[in-house]
Amino acid sequence: MRIIRGKYGRRRFDVPHNITARPTTDFAKENLFNVLENITDFEGKRALDLFAGTGAISLELASRGCAQVVSVEMAATQANFIRSVKEKLGEESMKVIRGDVFRYIATCREKFDIIFADPPYDHPRFAEIPELILGSKMLKPGTIVVIEHSARHNFSRLPGFREQRAYGSVNFSIFEIGESPE
């Protein structure tokens, strides 16, 4: 796994073989961050990475200057890997929560500037996730929400939809919360 840019740019970490997550490809991640850099400045922002997997997105957000990055991951192996990389880097802005994303969304009252979600494509509740996030208390005016998904999903009807980008088999739906989030 590689961090593309920022203070940890070009750093590589070996992902353990027993991790079952499907990491976002470097190609897709690099292109997504190019798009996001044209929408927002990461410096000083509060970010949330749901279904954090290997932590690739969390680490990219921290590397690019986010003041706080919360990574939520249910699997112990993945959460422990993210913690180990965080410790190797000495990155104080990162907080790793090993827990259920659905419970986190329902109970979290913190507000974030950037929310990224990369659920397993075969998750039985996959189609609900964007609406759960967009209806949560975690949003504020200007929050950017990114959902990673396969081509078979189309979330363009949801409020705040800005655009969909496809990089190979990876799709990102990007939302921007208006002045009065629900």
- pLDDT for position 95: 98
Q: What is the CATH number of domain 26-176?
A: 3.40.50.150
The count of residues in the chain is 182
Measuring CA to CA, how many Å separate 77 from each of 18, 71, 73, 148, 171? 8, 14, 9, 21, 26
Radius of gyration over every alpha carbon of the chain, rounded to an integer in angstroms: 15
Q: What is the mean pLDDT of residues 34-53?
A: 97
Given a cut of 80, whether residue 23 has pLDDT beyond it is: no
Q: What is the mean pLDDT of residues 94-109?
A: 97
Q: What is the mean pLDDT of residues 56-75?
A: 97
Q: Give the domain ranges of the chain.
A: 26-176
Q: What is the mean pLDDT of residues 55-68?
A: 97
DSSP label at 128? G
3-state DSSP assignment of residue 114: strand
Given a cut of 90, whether residue 78 has pLDDT beyond it is: yes
- Using CA of residue 82, residue 83, residue 86, residue 88, what is the dihedral sign? negative
More confident call, 20 vs 52:
52
Given a cut of 70, whether residue 182 has pLDDT beyond it is: no
Question: Could you count the other beta carbons within 10 Å of the beta carbon of residue 94?
Answer: 23
- pLDDT for position 90: 95
Return d(Cα 46, Cα 175) in angstroms, integer. Answer: 16
Given a cut of 70, whether residue 147 has pLDDT beyond it is: yes
- pLDDT for position 22: 75
Q: What is the mean pLDDT of residues 53-75?
A: 97
Residue 137 CA, chain-centre distance (Å), reads 17
Q: What is the mean pLDDT of residues 6-35?
A: 89
What are the φ and ψ backbone dihedral angles of 8, each rounded to 5 degrees? -110, 15
Q: What are the structure tokens assigned to 34, written together? A: 């190019």
The predicted-structure confidence for 162-178, as pLDDT tens digits, reads as follows 999 999 999 999 999 98
* Percent of the chain whose predicted confidence (pLDDT) is above 90: 87
- pLDDT for position 141: 96
Q: Which of 12-16, 94-98, 110-114, 130-134 has the lowest mean pLDDT?
A: 12-16
Given a cut of 80, whether residue 179 has pLDDT beyond it is: no
pLDDT band at 180 (very low <50, low <70, confident <90, very high): low
pLDDT band at 58 (very low <50, low <70, confident <90, very high): very high
**Do 160 and 175 contact (CB within 8 A), yes or no?**
yes
